[in-house]
Amino acid sequence: MSRDSGCGGGSVLFAFLFGAVIGAGVAAVLTPNTGPENRRRLSELKDEILEKTSDLRDETLDAYNESRESLDETIGRGKDFVKKQKSILSTAIEAGREAYNREKDESTAEEA
């Protein structure tokens, strides 16, 4: 059984991006580099963040698709189970009706 941590994918992605932006800002302020060097490094960081968020999106979509397939399979098995049980119950009800009618006919024949 899976365990829900209570954090949605959107929350995790937002926290990641927020941390990356804060980290980039701190790095830009604390490094003794020139403006062009800082801009180059921030551009590289932006590219890295975009790549990681793209990977995270792909992983999330894969997990969603796997979960959806598993859910569809479970629903299908549930439907099959209900259909089988319904068939069994219908057969039992029909057998009960036949037995009742047989007993009724026999008791009517004995009275006559």
Query: pLDDT tens track of the chain, all 112 residues?
Result: 455 555 666 677 777 777 877 777 777 667 777 778 878 887 888 888 888 888 888 988 999 999 999 999 999 999 999 999 999 999 999 999 999 999 888 888 777 6
The predicted structure's pLDDT at residue 1: 46
Q: Which residues of 68-99 are buried (b: 16+ CB within 10 A; e: fewer)?
A: eeeeeeeeeeeeeeeeeeeeeeeeeeeeeeee
